[in-house]
Copies of this chain bind each other. A is one copy, B any other.
Amino acid sequence: MKRSLTPVASLGEFGLIQRLTRGARLVNASSIRGCGDDAAVLDYNNGKRVLVSSDMLIEGVHFDLSYVPLKHLGYKAITVNASDIYAMNGVPRQVTVALAVSNRFTVEALDELYAGILLACERYGIDLVGGDTTSSRVGACICVTVIGEAGEGEVTCRDSARVNDLVCVSGDLGAAYAGLQVLKREKVVVGDDPDARPALEGYEYVIERQLKPEARGDVTRRLAEAGVRPTAMIDVSDGLSSELLHVCVGSGVGCRVFEEKIPVDGQTRRVAGELNLDPVTCAMAGGEDYELLFTAPLEARDALAAMEGVSIIGYVTPPEDGRFLVTRDGALVELEARGWNSFIQRE
Contact = CB atoms under 8 A, between A and B. Distances in A.
Interface of A: 8-9, 11-14, 16, 32-33, 36-46, 49-56, 58-62, 83-85, 87-88, 90, 94, 96-100, 103, 129-132, 134-139, 141, 143, 145-148, 152, 155, 157-159, 233-235, 250, 337, 341-344
Given A39-B90, A41-B88, A343-B16, A134 B52 contact: no
Given A54-B143, A98-B55, A342-B13, A32 B61 contact: no
A337 B99 CA distance: 22
Contacts of A59: 137
A204 to B, nearest CB: 29
Contacts of A8: 343
B50 A84 contact: no
A90 B233 CA distance: 33
A230 B96 CA distance: 26
A134 B38 contact: no
Given A13-B343, A41-B155, A54 B130 contact: yes
Contacts of A99: 56
Contacts of A98: 54-56, 143, 145
Contact of A100 (B51, B56, B234): B56
A180 B338 CA distance: 45
A341 B38 CA distance: 17
Nearest to A340: B13
Contacts of A147: 50, 52, 147
A136 B152 CA distance: 37
Most-contacted residue by chain B among A9, A13, A59, A88 (CB, 10 A) = A13
Contacts of A54: 96-98, 130-132, 143, 145
Contacts of A61: 100, 134-137
Given A40-B51, A40-B53, A62-B134, 17 more contacts: A33-B157, A38-B83, A39-B148, A41-B49, A42-B49, A42-B51, A50-B50, A50-B147, A54-B131, A58-B136, A59-B137, A61-B134, A61-B137, A100-B141, A136-B139, A136-B141, A147-B147
A40 B54 CA distance: 10
A343 B88 contact: no
